[in-house]
Structure 1
Amino acid sequence: MVSSGPRVSIVVPAYQSERLIADCLRSLVSQTYPRDLYEIVVVNNGSTDRTAQIAAQFPVRIIDEPRRGVGHARSAGVVGAHGELVAFTDADCIADHRWLAQLVARFDSEPDLGGVGGYIAGYDPQKAVQYYIAERRLLCQEAALEPLRHNKPFAITANALLPRRVIEEVGGFDPLCELSGEDADLCWRIGETGRRIVFAPWALVYHRHRSSVRGLCQWMFRYAIGSVYLMKKHRRLYSLGRVFIHWPHYGRFLVALGMFLAPPFSYRDSWERLFAGYDLLRFACFTAGRVVGSIRYRAIVL
């Protein structure tokens, strides 16, 4: 019996992911969506470990993309995709068994949508940093899709579904988004066509959050560098002048500093002060990244 429904390509960029890729692919081959209607495309983004060998043990197609960067990797996946819809997740994610079916169902309810973003939960947090990332909603799809003055809606590609024709229509992923922001850049260009990108709360993936302070700092630093390129490119969306200073960022920094320096009896529990310390580190790394990005991209964004 031939299944009915749109054909979907799941694109999974992978770099040095030998410890993670098996769990990810195991979840993707076990979806409730008809197996004959979706394919899994793993983009090996220059890995030198056993990522490709482990992926080859699963019923997937492997594409090699030696040019480093998520923009290049996702672009290669789209080019190699056979489906009319393209679902994105990452090698450090584990998908709920109904994930793909929920994404497709939300898209089918409004076929003119520009895309769908699903819920991203933390996977089995065990370290304080992982609890912190979840508590502060640092990888939050609902927040990403919420239209605010300094946050234009976009779907985080750890959990997203986009029509391939729409991706191609707007020019695909920008390879210059080397460090971060390739998903926001693409979604903003889709938004300029008048199409909406909406939230599918039951389309769930579990993300393995950074487990060390060093990992958190590197993430924030790289994200901030990429955000400068993104805001310079989309200057019109942000109504940017020659200099852009995001004052709320510095307001939150001062609040975190005040909480960290507060006397011990003012804390409800030990986590509160620890998280305030993480806040200070995060803001410091983000600010440093903005400075480096401003120099690299010749745009003052702080």
Structure 2
Amino acid sequence: MFCDADDRVHVDWLRWLVDRARSADIVSCAVETETINPPAVHKWRPLYPSDKRFHARFLPFVFGAGFAVDRALYMHVGGCDETLVHGGEDVDLSWRIQLAGGTLAHEKRSVVAYRSRATLRGLWHQTRRYGVADARLFKSYRGYGMPRATWSDLFWTVVTLLVNNPLVPQSLSRIDRGRWVSLVAFLVGNWQGSVRHRVLYF
């Protein structure tokens, strides 16, 4: 069982997670940001309990805030990669386990309240690091089929960020300021990670 020290589990979190782990090798729990964060911070990264698995452009993954994993298989694949200092170790572990033949399941009744960064500066630094980590993951998994976004996706993302930038009155913008900072930071991290790891990723 894994759970971040600064997050807070809901009642019966462990019970439901253990029950689901009887039939899968690695199990994700549901994550929410509403009950543990101030309303303004919650809007920056709104997460609600869902019956859907976390899914990137490649394989599904567990959220590091809370998950269960079969110990033998965890050791077999080498555990968490401690060289992933910018983040993404939960995603990497999930993918290595699945590529090794393991199964991933999701238990929506097991819920963790995820504590977000409380300042825009903290949010920027965290999300930028995640962007760098994503480029590292792409370098490791592109040979297995992990795609990057299309140029069209990148174009419309940039356009959306430009027309909703902080100079636009909040009453006219469709994106909360914190959410805007998070999206820009992640994109910047992608570009920095591309340079650092010598790949083109966005």
Higher CA-based Rg: 1
Q: Which has the higher contact order (CA 8 A, sep 6+)?
A: 2
**Structure 1 residue 179 corresponds to structure 2 residue 86:** yes
TM-score by length of structure 2 reads 0.84
Structure 2 CA distance for partners of 1:165 and 1:104, relative to 1, 3 Å: same
Question: Residue in 2 aligned with 1:124?
Answer: 36
Counterparts of 1:1-302 in structure 2, within 5 Å, are 87-108=1-22, 110=23, 113-122=24-33, 123-134=35-46, 137=47, 145-146=54-55, 150-238=57-145, 244=148, 246-247=150-151, 248-259=153-164, 270=171, 273=173, 275-302=175-202
Q: Structure 1: which 5+ residue stretches go unaligned?
A: 1-86
Asked whether the equivalents of residues 154 and 187 of structure 1 are also in contact (C-alpha less than 8 Å), the reply is: yes
* Counterpart secondary structure, 1:124: coil
Instruction: Give the CA deviation at 1:227.
Output: 1.0
1:124-169 deviations in Å (ceiling 9; x for gaps)? 33252332211xx4x98766534x6x24211012110001101111
Instruction: Give the CA deviation at 1:184.
Output: 0.8
Asked whether the equivalents of residues 13 and 109 of structure 2 are also in contact (C-alpha less than 8 Å), the reply is: yes
The letter of the residue matching 1:289 is G
* Counterpart secondary structure, 1:278: helix
1:171-230 deviations in Å (ceiling 9; x for gaps)? 211122111110111110111123221110111111111111111111111001111111
Asked whether the equivalents of residues 144 and 156 of structure 1 are also in contact (C-alpha less than 8 Å), the reply is: no
Asked whether the equivalents of residues 29 and 111 of structure 2 are also in contact (C-alpha less than 8 Å), the reply is: yes
TM-score by length of structure 1 reads 0.59
In 2, the alpha carbon distance for the partners of 1:276 and 1:239 equals 30
Q: How large is the Cα RMSD of the aligned pairs?
A: 2.8
In 2, the alpha carbon distance for the partners of 1:256 and 1:293 equals 20
Q: Structure 2: which 5+ residue stretches go unaligned?
A: none
Q: Share of identical aligned residues, percent?
A: 25
